[in-house]
Amino acid sequence: MWGDLAIAFVVAFITTFMTVPYTIKLARKIGAVDTPKDSRRINKITMPRLGGLAIICGFLVSIAYLLIVMAIEKTINLSLESVYIKLIGFLLGALIIGIICFYDDVKGARAIVKLLAQLVAAVIVILCGIRIDTIDVPGLNELPQWVYDIVTVAWIVGITNAINLIDGLDGLSSGISIISCVSLLMIFALNGSPLLSIILITALCGALCGFLPFNYNPAKTFMGDTGSNFLGYSLAIISILGLAKTYTAVVIVAPIFVLGVPLFDTIFAIFRRIKNGKSLKAIMQPDAGHLHHKMLKAGFTQKQAVLIMYGFTACLGIFAIVLLESGWVKALIFAAIVVIVILAGYKEFFAQRLLSNAEAEKELKSVTEKEEVSDKKVKVRVEKSVEITDDKPKKVSKKLDNKTEKTSKKTNSKTQKKSPKSLKK
């Protein structure tokens, strides 16, 4: 199995890495670019935003190759438990979301249209058998199936939008998704999850690793709504597939912690927008109140904010793994140690960060002042050279005028001398 997983990762990585440059050219050609229109956008220059196509391409090539090879070798049975129907449903939903989001990246689409596409994709997935069947918790395990179906739809739509909304800094969404993929892979391995879910999460991780070098600060391209919606949708579906038939309280909580950073940021964004807009329509209105915006306002650089959020995601992923393997006691001890260490070093870290940022600002100011002085000197030199070049033609013209006047005087004097002799004759 581990050899197959290595193949899935490498094929996805190479395919995505080699495809990204073509998506950059395509984005510039068809106008799928992100321009810094307002203060909410962090990028200062126009950026192509079709990198998600490369992620999808790497993911699909990897799973297609691996499933075909494994089916030939009979190491996976696609007809068992209607695996192929679930796979078709997953791909159909991804196709619907991909088409709508591709149109949004190129032309622009309303938020309600994208939400409807997500709902349709979630319904298709449920009809194809990918759903939360039951929750093995007293009081929740005897609910009707339609309640679990609503929970499934809410999970798929929620995670899809959570990954989309967290995609606000260079490398943030792709890096968080890589950490989440690694955490889910370890949870699936510990939980004895179906082989299909392990293959899918490995291929997705490989595709993201192939894209991150182009997306990390300073980014060369963005994944766009095509990439972020596909990522969120895939993580939601794969987490359901990986936890099939083991819906205990601990198993259900594990993916929530793994995807905690984007999920909690989205929940806070919903309440914040309702409070500020005073209506449900305000949920669809973008704002600059996300966690990464607040970290930038606090003085962190893009790289610092991204790395800190990577750290939070990794801690939550480790907490989920410890929780699943060793129970609540060890998980809570780990969480307490992390919180104590952060609180103990936060003030000094914050002070050092302020000092480093202040020094950087001073250096930047000194550099800009030196550049301004040099620019002024260059301007003065240019102006002087222009004045000199302007004076030269004037002097030359004066000399020419003087020469012409002298020659004209000489000719006049000669004619005057010659005229009396001619009269005498």
Give the model confidence (pLDDT) of 310-347 as tens digits: 999 999 999 999 988 888 899 899 999 998 988 887 77
Sign of CA dihedral 373, 375, 381, 387: negative
Confidence of residue 91 (pLDDT cuts 50, 70, 90): very high
Confidence of residue 248 (pLDDT cuts 50, 70, 90): low
User: Which amino acid would we find at residue 284?
Assistant: M
Question: Which of 175-179, 191-195, 236-240, 375-379 shows the lowest per-residue confidence on average (mean pLDDT)?
Answer: 375-379
Taking the C-alpha atoms of residue 64 and residue 381, their distance in angstroms, rounded to an integer, is 66
Confidence of residue 70 (pLDDT cuts 50, 70, 90): confident
Domain ranges, ordered by start, for the chain: 2-326, 351-425
Map residue 17 onto helix, strand or coil. Answer: helix
* Whether the predicted pLDDT of 243 surpasses 70: yes
Q: What distance lies between CA 230 and its chain's CA centroid? A: 12
**So what's the pLDDT on residue 94?**
94
Mean pLDDT, range 229-237, rounded to an integer: 93
* Whether the predicted pLDDT of 425 surpasses 50: no
* Whether the predicted pLDDT of 355 surpasses 80: no
Highest mean pLDDT among 6-20, 285-299, 362-376: 6-20
The dihedral formed by the CA atoms of 221, 227, 229 and 235, expressed in degrees to the nearest 10: -120
Beta-carbon count within 10 A of 146 CB: 8
Q: What stretch of H or E contains 20?
A: helix 2-30
* Whether the predicted pLDDT of 358 surpasses 90: no
Map residue 259 onto helix, strand or coil. Answer: coil
**So what's the pLDDT on residue 190?**
84
**So what's the pLDDT on residue 424?**
40
Confidence of residue 192 (pLDDT cuts 50, 70, 90): confident
Mean pLDDT of the chain: 80
User: Which amino acid would we find at residue 30?
Assistant: I
What are the angstrom distances between the C-alpha of 373 and each of 68, 367, 377, 386, 397?
A: 66, 10, 6, 20, 37
Which carries the bigger pLDDT value, residue 187 or residue 423? 187
* Whether the predicted pLDDT of 261 surpasses 80: yes
φ, ψ of residue 136 in degrees (nearest 5): -80, 65
- 70-73 contacts: CB < 8 A, separation 24 or more? 70/4
Angle between helices 195-215 and 51-73 (to 10 degrees): 150
* Whether the predicted pLDDT of 245 surpasses 60: no
* Whether the predicted pLDDT of 422 surpasses 70: no
Give the max Cα distance, the chain.
145
Residues with Cβ within 8 Å of residue 137, at least 6 apart in sequence: 248, 249, 252
What are the angstrom distances between the C-alpha of 166 and each of 1, 97, 287, 310, 358?
A: 33, 18, 12, 12, 28
φ, ψ of residue 402 in degrees (nearest 5): -65, -45
User: Which amino acid would we find at residue 40?
Assistant: R
Q: With contact defined as beta carbons under 8 Å apart, do 325 and 190 qualify?
A: yes
* Whether the predicted pLDDT of 200 surpasses 80: yes
Q: With contact defined as beta carbons under 8 Å apart, do 25 and 220 qualify?
A: no
**So what's the pLDDT on residue 417?**
47
Taking the C-alpha atoms of residue 17 and residue 202, their distance in angstroms, rounded to an integer, is 16
**So what's the pLDDT on residue 336?**
92
What does the angle CA 341 – CA 345 – CA 348 come to, to the nearest 5 degrees?
A: 180
Closest alpha carbon to 187 in 247, 263, 255: 255
Is 162 exposed, middle or buried, given 0-12, 13-18 or 19+ CB atoms closer than 10 A? Answer: buried
- Give pLDDT tens digits for 94-150: 999 999 999 998 988 888 999 999 999 999 999 998 888 777 666 666 778 888 889
Residues with Cβ within 8 Å of residue 163, at least 6 apart in sequence: 173, 176, 177, 228, 229, 231, 232, 235, 262
